[in-house]
Amino acid sequence: MKYWLIRAVVRSAQTVRTLLKKLKKVDIAQYCTDHWKAFAKVLLPEKHRIGKAYTKNIEGVNTCLRARNRRLVRKTTCFSKKKENHMASLNTMFNYRNQTKTKHHTL
List the end-to-end C-alpha distance of the chain, in Å, as a whole number.
8
Worst-scoring range by mean pLDDT, 44-53, 67-76, 88-97?
67-76
- 13 has pLDDT over 80: yes
Confidence of residue 23 (pLDDT cuts 50, 70, 90): confident
CB within 8 A of 36, min separation 6: which ones?
11
Report pLDDT for 75. 59
Q: Confirm if 39 and 33 have CB atoms less than 8 A apart.
A: yes
Confidence of residue 65 (pLDDT cuts 50, 70, 90): confident
Nearest to 25 by CA among 42, 2, 49: 2
Report pLDDT for 105. 45
What does pTM read for this prediction? 0.52
Average pLDDT over residues 57-84: 70
Average pLDDT over residues 40-64: 84
Please state whether beta strands 48-50 and 31-33 pair in parallel, antiparallel, or not at all (unpaired): parallel
Task: Give tens-digit pLDDT for 72-96.
Answer: 666 566 666 777 877 887 788 777 7
